[in-house]
Structures are given as C-alpha cells and as structure tokens.
Amino acid sequence: ILIRFAQNEDVPSLVIAAWRLTIATALLLPVCFLRHREEVRQLRRDSWIPAILAGIFLAVHFAAWIASLDYTSVAAASALVATVPLWVAIASPFLLGEGLTKWTQVGIGLALAGSVLIAANDLGGVGRNPLLGNGLAILGAVAAAGYLVIGRKLRKSLSLIPYITLVYGIAAMTLVAAAVANGHDLFTYSPNLFFLFFL
C-alpha cells in the first residue's frame, strides 16, 4: 500500500525499489561494521560470486514486484509474489539436491492452481494492465526464490547481519544503476515521499 501511495505521486517503481534497498543497507551498515567487521574481512573469495548473484536476484525481485503494483491490484500482486516457497520447492531438487515428498508435490499443484485462478480472476479487474502486472509479480517471486536458494548455501559460511548487509548493498547498487540508466532522478522528491521510501 505504501508503494502504491508513492506510485500515485508519479515516482517510478525503480526509484522506489532503489531507495528501499539503499535505506535498508544504510541502516544495516553501522551494525555490520561495529559487530561483524572481522567476519566480513575474512569473507572467502568464493563467497563473493554467490553474494553478487543473490544481490542481483534480490534487485530483480524488488524491481519486478514493485513495478507489478503499478499495473495490477495490490491484492493480486501480493498474492502472486507470495508464491516464493512454491518456486523454491520446484528449484530445490535441481539446485540443492533435495527431493520432493508426495505432499509437497500436491502443495505445489494446489499453489500453481491458486496462482492461475488469482491471475485469471484479476485480468478484467483493477489496474492498467493486469496481465503484465501479474507476470511481473510472478517474476518477482521467481527472482526471490533464486535469492533464497543462493542464500541457503551462502549463509552456511556467513552470519545473518553480514549476509543481508552485503546482499542488500549489492541489490541497492544494482537498482540505483538501473534507475540512473533509465533516466530517473533519485533526489527531487518531497520529504513525505522519502518518508514513504523509509517506511
């Protein structure tokens, strides 16, 4: 809902996403620096590539999902982006070597059917382009699943605060670069809008 308020003031979705991750990173940096500086300093070189990939997936998640709210209803976008566990379950056998129980397979089938019903029900409803919005929300869910699958491996060697600070920072830089590349101004917004970004 807060994102929709900002979009109603003609703030581009990429700018909202960029500020959301930039503010989160700024809040985490002092804690990470004061409490986990040594852990970050000792981060192995082979951990950087997964961290960068996780950050890019997180950036795609926020860019796609926030953009979806500009095209479809908040309810549909929120329900579809919440299918992240479905995509993690589908990817797990291939990427993590985890099998799917019979009940997990039934759950995946029900979740897919529910997603189709939500998307189909919303096509004639709220939003400028519900089909595009619903597709962006699903892309956001798939990207978030990629972020989580990568994170499960990376978190084995990195505690929570350094992990999210690093990944949020990479996502923030990715989104800022995308916003600038698309010609969006990041700074000419009212204090009220910056408060919405913060919230």
Q: pLDDT per position in the chain (199 positions), as tens?
A: 898 899 989 999 999 999 999 999 999 999 988 888 787 777 777 778 888 999 999 999 999 999 998 888 888 888 888 888 888 888 777 766 777 788 878 887 888 787 777 766 655 556 678 888 888 999 999 999 999 888 877 877 788 898 899 999 999 999 999 999 999 999 999 999 999 999 9
Residue reference for tokens 């019979």: 102
**pTM, to two decimals:** 0.85
Contact 76, 136 (CB under 8 A): no
Query: Are 77 and 68 contacting, i.e. CB atoms less than 8 angstroms apart?
Result: yes
Nearest C-alpha neighbor of 63 from the set 118, 16, 9, 116: 16
What is the rounded CA–CA span in Å between residue 79 and residue 198? Answer: 23
The per-residue pLDDT for 44 is: 76
Tokens of 178: 């995308």
